[in-house]
């Protein structure tokens, strides 16, 4: 659980999405956004924990193409947020559903296959016995990763969601613009890394 918490805690593009959605649409949307990321973390954690090497190898081998799609989608989200209506009430009443909040963060997090290697290295460093036929132990590790990650997203969305009813229209405009610029910057970095990998 501690490992899942610390993996989720650094504020990157998903954290920024969680904060922005918590403020604009309420803490429930922020939490669901985080749970999408937690699901992806649990998926990659399960590959490392259960020792599914053939799938791990295939995903890592195709990581450049996977990250290309992820970077492009992140850029799309950043631009969409930047161009969002400035009226705070309209932003809060966005037609975005809980399902779209979940699937978008799930897709973005899962487009970083190198996460598998991070889990594998961490499990080895902690002396956790994974893979083989010890399915109960592997399952408990994966459940702990998900629970720890989900705990972080619950805390983050709960804190930032407090501003949901208090944010002004002017402040929402700047939040949208700043979030959009930062997310597009993350997208540019991701796409540049893909370009370098193909060069």
The whole-model pTM stands at 0.79
Q: Which domain holds residue 121?
A: 2-198
Residues 130-186: tens digit of each pLDDT:
555 567 777 888 888 899 999 999 999 999 988 877 877 788 888 889 988 998 998
Per DSSP, the residues of 112-161 read -TTHHHHHHHHHHHTT---STT-HHHHHHHHHHHHHHHHHHHHHHHHHHG
Number of compact structural domains in the chain: 1
Residues 61-95: tens digit of each pLDDT:
777 888 888 889 989 988 988 887 765 454 455 55
Q: How far apart are CA 138 and CA 48, in angstroms?
A: 9
């Amino acid at each position: 659980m501690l490992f899942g918490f610390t993996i989720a805690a650094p504020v990157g593009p998903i954290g920024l999405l969680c904060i922005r959605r918590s403020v604009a649409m309420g803490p429930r949307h922020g939490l669901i956004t985080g749970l999408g990321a937690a699901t992806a973390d649990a998926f990659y954690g399960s590959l490392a924990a259960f020792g599914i090497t053939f799938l791990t190898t295939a995903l890592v081998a195709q990581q450049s193409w996977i990250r290309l799609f992820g970077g492009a989608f992140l850029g799309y989200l950043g631009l969409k947020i930047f161009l969002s209506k400035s009226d705070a009430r309209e932003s809060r009443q966005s037609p975005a559903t809980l399902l779209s909040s979940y699937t978008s963060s799930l897709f973005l997090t899962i487009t970083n296959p190198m996460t598998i290697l991070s889990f594998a290295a961490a499990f080895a460093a902690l002396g956790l016995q994974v893979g083989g036929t010890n399915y109960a132990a592997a399952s408990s590790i994966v459940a702990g990763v998900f629970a720890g990650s989900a705990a972080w997203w619950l805390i983050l969305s709960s804190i930032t969601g407090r501003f949901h009813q208090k944010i002004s229209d002017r402040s929402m405009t700047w939040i949208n613009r700043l979030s959009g610029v930062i997310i597009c910057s993350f997208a540019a970095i991701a796409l540049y890394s893909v370009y370098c990998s193909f060069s």
